Amino acid sequence: MSGEPNFGRKLLGNARNIAFWLVLFLLILALFNLFSGSGNTLQSRSVPYSEFVAAVDDGAVSQVTLDGEAVRYRGADGQDYTTIKPQDAEITQQLIDQGVPVKAESQEQSGFQTFLVSLLPFLLLIGVWIYFMNRMQGGGKGGAMGFGKSKAKMLTEKHGRVTFDDVAGIDEAKEELEEIVEFLRNPQKFSRLGGKIPKGALLVGPPGTGKTLLARAIAGEAGVPFFTISGSDFVEMFVGVGASRVRDMFEQAKKNAPCIVFIDEIDAVGRHRGAGYGGGNDEREQTLNQLLVEMDGFESNEGVIIIAATNRKDVLDPALLRPGRFDRQVTVPNPDIKGREKILGVHARKTPLGPDVELRLIARGTPGFSGADLANLVNEAALMAARVGRRFVTMVDFENAKDKVMMGAERRSMVLTDDQKEKTAYHEAGHAVVGLALPKCDPVYKATIIPRGGALGMVVSLPEIDRLNWHKSECEQKLTMTMAGKAAEILKYGEENVSNGPAGDIQQASGLARAMVMRWGMSDKVGNVDYEQAHEGYMGNGAGGFSISAHTKELIEDEVKRMIDTAYQEAKSILEERHDEWERLAQGLLEYETLTGEEINRVIRGEPPEAGDDDGGAAEAAKPSVTAIPKTKPKSSPGSGDGGLEPEPST
């Protein structure tokens, strides 16, 4: 129903534009016709008046046209000439005496021509002025003067209706927002008891968790207009444009109330005021001030609910988060195992699955995955099945897709020498053996020496359950496994022959050790102080803070180095104790290139890995299986890669 008025307004605007350009064309055409009469003079050759008189005396003039002071004549050669007659010269009688045909043109224009010539410039100016005023006041949003109009787009049923059935894995967030849907359906239910619906809801969560999809589901369930806009669409280089767009957006919303306005990435416009952005006249701050007033100022916006999404709540201005503006702050986290299974089911609706596919098994192996990661996993599996001509997606396709997402695409075309392969095998075998020897390390999921992404090889370890926090002992053992690659290279080839392969390991170990010392208070010498926040500035926005003294910096670096050195020595000791297991695994990697968790255990025991049997891989996949989170992706190194145990521990 709401599409008909919009269509009518759009049609009227197009008609106005067409009429304007048509009138402008007719005026230009009339002007051209008016002055085209003098165009023939451009083809005449101008001569001195004396030459004209001489030609008359010689009888070399066949025809003359007198047009005021201008004289046009045709010579005996058939060529047209033009000249200017002096004011006191009389040539008419002489021409008649010579028998030359003489034609005189009137110097007076018609009243219409005179009026048109005098009025035409004004008509052009008025037409251009009307056109630009029309564009500025709503005739169009894409013109030169339309930059002050809101860029919010209204989604309708034709864009695809999304409901809560299409959103899975975030049940708690859905429950908090169902009350908003109920209010939009039946506002009297709340108003008769004096209750007021929240004016705004802020969706906070990591990227890919479904914040935008959840907002669309609210609009789909309530059946109301849904306006969507990005926070960056408000701010332009012109001062005041952002505030104008905010006003226009709320005017549109009021006309379509009850409705939902969704602002994606609101941190682009809602950052903390005065945090290194200049004075109060800053364009971004004016836009934010206008947004604050529109959400809860002197005028109320009944029936307009603002939903915003961000993954940077820490940088938002406190005025946005107070009651009366964003009354509810809904956390949209990464789903748990049940949520992941439901999300896989949603994304697999249009994908034919084979009888061996168990979504719960895949969900168990994807701790920390977001909804977008799981959607990407299903899509990659479908593409791989289609590539080999299958009619449905099997568990093997999911395993291959998991490896591609988790470790990168295989680079089998990359040529490696035997020496490079051997160094990579011993490096990765060191990670795996140490990881298996330490009880608090995550289970080893897979080891490979096939180049993937930017790494020549890697070992991937995944937790058996969703990890919510990290303990000091776990972090220390994680450091030990990370440094095992370099320890393996030094034990095998000596100090002088160590490669740059451990570069990624060193980077990861340094990051983890600094987090333990500077953020988590896991060093007794440094103490329970957040030195990382002190380094970045107060509240992490550069608006102030305190510096770290030289003594404290030295103490922090000493503790970081001590933790890494201790982990390296422990990894070296484990490899010396388990030298035979390490050798067997390295040789197994050289022979089979890729080994799963259970196959690694068989090779270490001296048994054949039973390559080609998927049972072991499937059984091991029941513990950790697929992963694709940015935090847990194995990071590549310039050399032989690194052990894939790289999630940043979360508090």
Residue 451 to residue 424: CA distance in whole angstroms: 10
Reported in sequence order, the residue ranges of 462-568 that DSSP labels E, i.e. its strands, are none
212 is known to lie in a ligand binding site: yes
Take residue 649 and report the two structure tokens written for it: 């521990």
Take residue 81 and report the two structure tokens written for it: 């000439």
535 is known to lie in a ligand binding site: no
More confident residue, 607 or 509: 509
Taking alpha carbons only, the member of 571, 553, 550 closest to residue 561 is 553
Could you tell me the sign of the dihedral formed by the alpha carbons of 498, 499, 500, 502, in that order? negative
The domain that holds 342 is classified in CATH as 1.10.8.60
**pLDDT reported for residue 466:** 75
Residue 642 to residue 407: CA distance in whole angstroms: 11
Residue 242 lies in a domain: yes
Residue 413 lies in a domain: no
Q: How far is CA 539 from CA 105, 517, 544, 647, in A?
A: 87, 19, 8, 24
Residue 110 lies in a domain: no
**pLDDT reported for residue 637:** 34
208 is known to lie in a ligand binding site: yes
User: Do 595 and 609 contact (CB within 8 A), yes or no?
Assistant: yes
Is residue 182 very low, low, confident or very high in pLDDT (cuts 50, 70, 90)? confident
Asked whether the predicted pLDDT for residue 159 surpasses 50, the reply is yes
Is residue 436 very low, low, confident or very high in pLDDT (cuts 50, 70, 90)? very high
Least confident of 268-272, 297-301, 406-410: 297-301
62 and 136 assigned to the same domain: no
Q: How far is CA 43 from CA 12, 65, 85, in A?
A: 47, 15, 19
Residue 578 to residue 600: CA distance in whole angstroms: 14
The top-scoring range by mean pLDDT among 1-10, 118-127, 327-336, 574-583 is: 574-583
**pLDDT reported for residue 153:** 55
More confident residue, 456 or 430: 430
Residue 382 lies in a domain: yes
pLDDT tens for 517-576 read 999 999 999 888 888 766 554 444 444 445 778 888 899 999 999 999 999 999 999 999
209 is known to lie in a ligand binding site: yes
Is residue 297 very low, low, confident or very high in pLDDT (cuts 50, 70, 90)? low
Of the residues 270, 302, 331, which one is the last residue of a structural domain?
331
Residue 233 to residue 441: CA distance in whole angstroms: 46
More confident residue, 277 or 44: 44
Domain count for the chain, please give it: 5
Phi, psi of 460 (to 5 degrees): -115, 130
Asked whether the predicted pLDDT for residue 577 surpasses 90, the reply is yes
At 378, the amino acid letter reads V
The helix/strand/coil state of 559 is helix
* 523 burial via Cβ count (<10 Å: 0-12, 13-18, 19+): buried
pLDDT tens for 588-601 read 999 988 888 888 98
Residue 590: other Cβ atoms inside 10 A: 16
121 is known to lie in a ligand binding site: no
230 and 342 assigned to the same domain: no
The domain that holds 606 is classified in CATH as 1.20.58.760
Q: Give the per-residue SS3 of 25-94.
A: HHHHHHHHHHHHHHHHHHHCEECCHHHHHHHHHCCCEEEEEEECCEEEEEECCCCEEEEECCCCCCCHHH
Asked whether the predicted pLDDT for residue 78 surpasses 50, the reply is yes
The helix/strand/coil state of 209 is coil
Residue 282 lies in a domain: yes
Taking alpha carbons only, the member of 233, 56, 229 closest to residue 155 is 229
**pLDDT reported for residue 480:** 95
343 and 322 assigned to the same domain: no
Whether the upstream peptide bond of residue 258 has omega within 30° of 0, thus cis, is yes
User: Do 429 and 585 contact (CB within 8 A), yes or no?
Assistant: yes
434 and 493 assigned to the same domain: yes
Asked whether the predicted pLDDT for residue 188 surpasses 90, the reply is no
More confident residue, 53 or 623: 53
Strand order in the sheet with 304-310: 153-155, 226-230, 259-264, 304-310, 200-204, 328-331
User: Do 148 and 241 contact (CB within 8 A), yes or no?
Assistant: yes
Phi, psi of 583 (to 5 degrees): -65, -45
403 and 490 assigned to the same domain: no
Least confident of 374-378, 465-469, 565-569: 465-469
Q: Would you give the DSSP letter of residue 391?
A: S
**pLDDT reported for residue 506:** 93
Asked whether the predicted pLDDT for residue 4 surpasses 70, the reply is no
Q: Would you give the DSSP letter of residue 649?
A: P
Residue 112 lies in a domain: no
10 and 49 assigned to the same domain: no
At 442, the amino acid letter reads D
Mean local confidence (pLDDT), 11-32: 66
613 and 473 assigned to the same domain: yes
pLDDT tens for 95-144 read 777 777 777 766 555 556 666 666 767 777 777 777 666 655 444 444 44
Pairing of strands 444-448, 458-461: antiparallel
Helices (H), 484-527: 484-493, 503-518
Q: Would you give the DSSP letter of residue 630?
A: T
User: Do 20 and 243 contact (CB within 8 A), yes or no?
Assistant: no
Of the residues 113, 146, 179, which one is the last residue of a structural domain?
146
Asked whether the predicted pLDDT for residue 434 surpasses 90, the reply is yes
Of the residues 407, 433, 465, which one is the last residue of a structural domain?
407
Residue 288 to residue 317: CA distance in whole angstroms: 9
Residue 204 to residue 3: CA distance in whole angstroms: 32
167 and 294 assigned to the same domain: yes
Residue 163 to residue 148: CA distance in whole angstroms: 33
At 232, the amino acid letter reads S
The continuous run of DSSP H or E covering 580 comes out as: helix 579-592
Asked whether the predicted pLDDT for residue 3 surpasses 80, the reply is no
Q: Which residue has the tokens 């790494």?
A: 455
427 is known to lie in a ligand binding site: yes
Is residue 71 very low, low, confident or very high in pLDDT (cuts 50, 70, 90)? confident
The domain that holds 303 is classified in CATH as 3.40.50.300
Pairing of strands 102-104, 153-155: unpaired
Phi, psi of 621 (to 5 degrees): -65, -20
More confident residue, 113 or 220: 220
**pLDDT reported for residue 257:** 76
Residue 195: other Cβ atoms inside 10 A: 11
- Percent of the chain residues past pLDDT 90, beyond the cut: 16
User: Do 199 and 296 contact (CB within 8 A), yes or no?
Assistant: yes
What's the gap between Cα 82 and its chain centre?
69
**Boundaries of domain holding 135:** 3-36+125-146
Pairing of strands 259-264, 328-331: unpaired
547 and 595 assigned to the same domain: yes
142 and 158 assigned to the same domain: no
What's the gap between Cα 63 and its chain centre?
77
Residue 141 to residue 152: CA distance in whole angstroms: 11
187 is known to lie in a ligand binding site: no
Residue 483 to residue 459: CA distance in whole angstroms: 13
- Could you tell me which residues are beta bridge partners of residue 309? 203, 264
**pLDDT reported for residue 559:** 94
Residue 283 lies in a domain: yes
**pLDDT reported for residue 225:** 80
**pLDDT reported for residue 150:** 52
**pLDDT reported for residue 107:** 56
335 is known to lie in a ligand binding site: no
Mean local confidence (pLDDT), 231-238: 66
**pLDDT reported for residue 154:** 58
Residue 398 to residue 356: CA distance in whole angstroms: 11
170 and 308 assigned to the same domain: yes
Q: State the DSSP string of 278-294.
A: -STT-HHHHHHHHHHHH
- Could you tell me which residues are beta bridge partners of residue 642? 458
Residue 499 lies in a domain: yes
**pLDDT reported for residue 251:** 82
What count of Cα atoms within 13 Å lies in the side-chain half-sphere of residue 59? 3
Residues tagged active-site: 428
Taking alpha carbons only, the member of 304, 313, 148, 301 closest to residue 222 is 304
**pLDDT reported for residue 555:** 92
Taking alpha carbons only, the member of 564, 576, 568, 590 closest to residue 484 is 568
**pLDDT reported for residue 542:** 44
Residue 109: other Cβ atoms inside 10 A: 12
417 is known to lie in a ligand binding site: no
- Percent of the chain residues past pLDDT 70, beyond the cut: 74
464 and 317 assigned to the same domain: no
The domain that holds 66 is classified in CATH as 3.30.720.210
Task: Return the exposure string of 64-99: e unless at least 16 CB atoms fall within 10 Å of the residue's CB, then b.
Answer: bbbbeeebbbbbeeeeebbbebeeeeebeeebeeee
**pLDDT reported for residue 44:** 66
**pLDDT reported for residue 17:** 65
